[in-house]
């Protein structure tokens, strides 16, 4: 009998062989071997995006965006929707109490394709410090800046700052995040626009039409978050000037490398037809009439978050008989996929973005290097047909090899089960202090880093890999913690909603949800990434907030008149902001409303929000948003925010319906019920 030491050595060697065999190569759609790290890496522009192009010193992007260089090493002017958004971006070095803007003495556009543009620029600060920037701009608009500070002998600096003057708009708001709390549900996302702010490494300035983002948590400060200098916004009537610290006091004797990124949005156009791409909660012919996508929970894979269509070595032996028989198998799942696809519903297998099953020995072998620190894991509970709960640690896409693993496994799944994409849970950015993937240079080694940029790259690669298989990719992500759009530029849609659970009083969205926050986080046209609102009015987790008689009976609750009122309350908020929803309301309830919207033609209409029509909207109990077709016909969503019936007056409607008095006459004196909505077209 082998000793325990021998057994451990054999187990380690066996796991290493398994890991090596999986990591060396996978088979591509064309039958050739492709290294894991190269799956989904291609100069390919995905559907919906515009190829990037170069015109002199101007990089042209989709949605009327451009980044144009002038005298500095960063863009002098950034436009979105063909109007100025930011500029000039400037690096400012402070030495001996004096601030100097870095001017470029060299600018070279090294390469250009439809996928990306690469350029290099450099400049000097005095005679002892050279600053070089290598910049890659991808077709989604993400610009990643790799900066090198090279001293001549020795160079002392007080600080290095990024200065970005953003055009001020009436609806401009600031979203801000940092790695320690980015994954928390119950946190502040929208901050005061002007003044100093405790250091935040992900900053987004959004005005409901476009946004500008700065990401700076890979270059950071070695001291704790509380000791870092503030992120500062200096305001006047026309500009909000961001002053974002990149480095603190340093005496440089060797080169220092750091990275930051910026992005202007929307990353792509938002065709009105997207409004008919609805998620349905159930599978039926009736559901197929009102929606076309459904989350496959969770038996598309052989166990919870196990990215295979069969079982990796040793997995079968660790599962109960029930859970083994709960998996339908690849043949049955392919038939299921084809059946519902023929009826118009595309099924999307459930997967975790950062907690794959530990039934895979490759995951176990790499856990130490991939895991987030402090440690976090899913509880050991079953879900869906799988009753055997297995705790699953969280991993960071910042960890070398983790994204490679997940892309390769999901690409292998898609090779056998011909899905168009996946639905990802645990898909918020996460901060981690794991030393395996913190910067080696202790001069810029922060306590934690997030995986925002790494997540974006993962989604880009996965979408590209699916596209290379001849399928238009569908990637849905559940993100209820942080609307950090740069992480999600390549997803089909973000699913949000659980972040409101802590403040959702009596399942009343109109009373509980802050409209300023909604405009900054849920109005998807400003980002070019659709956002879907997951209603929690049905949730058993919130059963204690239902009327007493329904707290133990979800089926009765969903059929009740009280639920219908709660659902209409929720839909009033969603419709006002043009947010598609994912709701467990019964088919008949949803079908009636969707039929009204579809008969009008919201799938071929532009949207104008109440905040764009009435600057005094905060003081009004009655609000209305408009859908306008190309032929001029309009549909108004009129919402009564009060707890009493409202009989509509000209004063209620004038800001929203404009000069069309014939429309007023048809709707004046109609009554909107308390905390409800009505649809009116003309």
Partners of 256 in beta bridges:
149
Average pLDDT, stretch 45-64? 98
Distance of CA 40 to the CA centre of its chain: 19
Phi, psi (degrees; rounded to nearest 5) at 179? -60, -35
Residue 148 pLDDT > 80: yes
Tokens at residue 337, please? 């996929």
> Looking at 216-225, 236-245, 404-413, 664-673, which range is the least confident one?
216-225
Q: How far apart are CA 475 and CA 464, in angstroms?
A: 11
Partners of 212 in the β-ladder: 205, 264
The model's confidence at residue 657, banded by pLDDT at 50, 70 and 90, is confident
Q: What percent of the chain has a predicted confidence (pLDDT) above 70?
A: 95
Q: Considering the chain, what is the average pLDDT of its residues?
A: 93
Q: Using alpha carbons, select from 418, 404, 408 the residue that is nearest to residue 471.
A: 418
Angle CA 647–649–651, to nearest 5: 140
9 band by pLDDT with thresholds 50, 70 and 90? very low
Whether residue 680 contacts residue 665, with contact meaning beta carbons closer than 8 Å, is answered with no
Phi-psi region of 141 (alpha: psi -120 to 50; beta: other; left: phi over 0): left
Q: Where are the beta strands (DSSP E) in 238-380?
A: 239-247, 250-252, 256-265, 293-296, 346-352, 377-378
Name beta bridge partners: 173: 206
Phi and psi dihedrals of 680, rounded to 5? Answer: -140, 125
pLDDT of residue 20: 37
Out of 227-231, 501-505, 578-582, the most confident range is 578-582
Q: 374: cis peptide before it, omega within 30°? A: yes
How much is the average pLDDT of 494-519?
95
pTM above 0.85, yes or no: yes
Query: Residue 645's pLDDT is what?
Result: 98
- Say what the pLDDT of residue 328 is: 98
Copy the structure tokens of residue 73. 């090493």
Helical (H) or strand (E) element with 86: strand 83-86
Position 35 scores a pLDDT of: 78
Torsions phi, psi of 238, nearest 5? -105, -20
- What pLDDT score was predicted for residue 10? 35
pLDDT at residue 324 tops 90: yes
For the chain, give every domain's residue range.
53-265, 617-681
pLDDT score for 662: 80
Confidence check: pLDDT of 17 > 50 = no
* pLDDT recorded at residue 575: 98
In 3-state terms the chain splits into helix, strand, coil percentages (rounded to 5) of: 30, 30, 40
| C-beta of residue 625 within 8 angstroms of C-beta of residue 575 | yes
C-alpha distance from residue 628 to each of 110, 245, 417, 597, 676 (Å): 45, 44, 41, 12, 22
Query: Please, are residues 531 and 524 in contact by the beta-carbon 8 Å criterion?
Result: yes
- pLDDT tens-digit readout, 420-440: 999 999 999 999 999 999 999
pLDDT above 70: residue 27: no
Residue 664 pLDDT = 79
pLDDT, position 220: 66
Q: Which residues are 672's β-sheet partners?
A: 646
Q: Is the pLDDT of residue 25 over 90?
A: no
**Rounded to whole angstroms, how far apart are CA atoms 602 and 520?**
22
Query: How far apart, in whole angstroms, are the C-alpha atoms of residue 288 and residue 346?
Result: 10
Who wins on pLDDT, 37 or 40? 40
Q: Is 452 left (phi over 0), alpha (psi -120 to 50) or beta?
A: alpha
How many residues does this entry show for the chain? Answer: 682
In the 8-state DSSP scheme, what is residue 489? T
Per-residue confidence band for 14, with pLDDT thresholds at 50, 70 and 90: very low
pLDDT confidence bin for 51, thresholds 50/70/90:
very high
Provide the β-strand partners of residue 640.
622, 676
Residue 636 φ then ψ, to 5°? -100, 135
Q: Within a 13 Å sphere around the CA of 640, how many CA atoms are in the beta-carbon half?
A: 19
3-state SS, one letter per residue, for 342-374 = HCCCEEEEEEECCCCCCCCHHHHHHHHHHECCC
Q: How far apart are CA 277 and CA 66, in angstroms?
A: 30
Structure tokens at 623: 């609000």
| Cα–Cα distances in angstroms (integers) from residue 469 to residues 40, 415, 422, 464, in the given order | 10, 8, 14, 9
Could you tell me how far CA 494 lies from the centroid of its own chain? 6
Nearest Cα residue to 381 out of 373, 372, 390: 390
Following DSSP, what letter does each residue of 207-223 receive, concatenated?
Answer: -SS-EEEEE-SSS--SS
Q: What percent of the chain has pLDDT over 90?
A: 88
d(CA 265, CA 175): 14
C-alpha distances (whole Å) from 419 to each of 55, 405, 473 are 39, 19, 9
- Please report which confidence band the pLDDT of residue 223 belongs to, taking 50, 70 and 90 as the band edges: confident
Cβ–Cβ contacts within 10 Å for residue 616, how many? 7
Evaluate if residue 31 carries a pLDDT over 80: no
Distance CA 491, CA 34 (A): 24
pLDDT at 36: 82
| The pLDDT value given to residue 228 | 87
3-class state of residue 11 by DSSP: helix
Task: Report the CATH architecture of 53-265.
Answer: Distorted Sandwich (2.70)
Band of the pLDDT at 619, cuts 50, 70, 90?
Answer: very high
Q: What is the pLDDT of residue 219?
A: 64
- Determine the pLDDT at residue 33: 57
Rounded to whole angstroms, how far apart are CA atoms 179 and 184? 10
Asked if the model's pLDDT at residue 263 lies above 70, the reply is yes
Q: What is the pLDDT of residue 120?
A: 98
Handedness of CA 420, 424, 428, 432 (dihedral sign): negative
- Who's near 34: CB < 8 A, 6+ residues apart? 25, 26, 27, 28
Q: For residue 298, what are the contacts with CB-CB under 8 A and spacing of at least 6?
A: 304, 305, 349, 350, 383, 384, 385, 386
For the stretch 31-38, contacts whose Cβ atoms lie closer than 8 Å and that sit 24 or more positions apart, written own/partner, are 36/404, 36/405, 36/407, 36/408, 37/404
8 Å CB contact between 567 and 537:
yes
Can you read off the two tokens belonging to residue 511?
Answer: 């009373």
Residue 29 has pLDDT above 70, yes or no: no
Residues whose CB is less than 8 angstroms from the CB of residue 32 and which lie 6 or more positions away in sequence, other chains included:
none
Residues 587-604: what's their mean pLDDT?
96
Which residues make Cβ contacts (< 8 Å) with residue 316, sequence separation at least 6? 324
- What number is the average pLDDT over the span 659-677? 90
Which pLDDT band, with edges at 50, 70 and 90, does 673 fall under? very high
């Amino acid at each position: 009998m082998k000793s325990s030491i021998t057994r451990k050595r054999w187990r380690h060697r066996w796991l290493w062989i398994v890991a090596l065999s999986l990591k060396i190569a996978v088979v591509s759609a064309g039958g050739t071997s492709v290294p894991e790290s190269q799956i989904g890496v291609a100069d390919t522009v995905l559907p919906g995006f515009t190829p990037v192009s170069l015109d002199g010193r101007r990089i042209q992007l989709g949605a009327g965006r451009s980044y144009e260089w002038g005298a500095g090493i960063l863009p002098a002017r950034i436009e979105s929707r063909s109007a100025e958004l930011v500029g000039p971006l400037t690096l400012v070095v402070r030495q001996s109490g004096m601030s100097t803007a870095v001017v470029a003495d060299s600018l070279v556009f090294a390469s250009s394709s439809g996928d990306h543009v690469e350029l290099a620029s450099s400049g000097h600060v005095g005679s002892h410090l050279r600053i070089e920037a290598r910049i890659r701009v991808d077709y989604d608009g993400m610009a990643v800046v790799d900066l090198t500070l090279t001293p001549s002998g020795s160079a002392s600096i007080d600080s290095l700052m990024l200065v970005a003057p953003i055009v001020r708009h009436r609806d401009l708001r600031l979203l801000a995040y940092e790695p320690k709390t980015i994954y928390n549900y119950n946190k502040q996302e929208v901050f005061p626009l002007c003044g100093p702010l405790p250091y935040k490494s992900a900053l987004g300035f959004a005005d409901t039409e476009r946004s500008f983002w700065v990401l700076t948590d890979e270059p950071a400060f070695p001291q704790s978050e509380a000791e870092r200098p503030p992120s500062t916004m200096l305001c006047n009537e026309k500009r909000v000037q961001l002053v974002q610290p990149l480095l603190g006091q340093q005496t440089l004797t060797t080169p220092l490398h750091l990275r930051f990124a910026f992005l202007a949005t929307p990353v792509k156009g938002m065709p009105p037809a997207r409004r008919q791409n609805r998620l349905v909660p159930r599978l039926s012919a009736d559901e197929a009439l009102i929606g076309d996508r459904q989350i496959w929970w969770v038996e598309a894979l052989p166990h919870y978050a196990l990215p295979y269509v069969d079982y990796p070595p040793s997995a079968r032996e660790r599962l109960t008989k029930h859970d083994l028989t709960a998996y339908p198998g690849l043949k049955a799942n392919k038939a299921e996929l084809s059946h519902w696809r023929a009826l118009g519903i595309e099924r999307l297998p459930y997967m975790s973005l950062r907690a794959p099953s530990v039934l895979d020995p490759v995951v176990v072998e790499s856990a130490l290097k991939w895991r987030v620190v402090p440690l976090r894991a899913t509880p050991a509970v079953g879900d869906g047909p799988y009753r055997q709960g297995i705790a699953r640690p969280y991993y960071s896409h910042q960890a070398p090899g983790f994204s490679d693993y997940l892309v390769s496994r999901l690409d292998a799944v898609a090779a056998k089960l011909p899905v168009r994409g996946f639905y990802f849970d645990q898909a918020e950015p996460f901060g981690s202090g794991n030393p395996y993937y913190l910067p080696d240079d202790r001069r810029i080694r922060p306590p934690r880093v997030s995986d925002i940029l790494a997540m974006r790259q993962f989604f880009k690669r996965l979408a590209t890999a699916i596209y290379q298989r001849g399928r238009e990719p569908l990637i849905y992500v559940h993100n209820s913690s942080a609307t950090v759009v740069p992480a999600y530029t390549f997803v089909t849609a973000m699913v949000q909603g659980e972040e409101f659970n802590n403040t959702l009083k009596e399942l009343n969205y109109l009373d509980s949800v802050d409209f300023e926050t909604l405009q900054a986080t849920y109005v998807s046209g400003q980002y070019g990434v659709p956002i879907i609102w997951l209603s929690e009015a049905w949730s058993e987790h919130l059963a204690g907030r239902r009327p007493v008689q329904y707290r133990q009976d979800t089926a009765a609750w969903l059929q009740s008149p009280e639920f219908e009122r709660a659902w209409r309350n929720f839909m009033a908020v969603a419709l006002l902001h043009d947010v598609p929803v994912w709701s467990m309301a019964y088919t008949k309830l949803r079908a009636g409303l969707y039929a009204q919207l579809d008969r009008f033609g919201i799938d071929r209409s532009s949207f104008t929000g109440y905040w764009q029509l009435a600057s005094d909207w905060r003081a009004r109990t009655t609000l209305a948003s408009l859908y306008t077709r190309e032929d001029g016909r309009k549909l108004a969503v009129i919402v009564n925010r009060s707890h009493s019936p409202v009989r509509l007056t000209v004063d209620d409607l004038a800001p929203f319906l404009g000069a069309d008095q014939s429309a007023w006459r048809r709707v004046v004196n109609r009554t909107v019920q308390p905390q409800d909505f009505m649809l009116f077209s003309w």
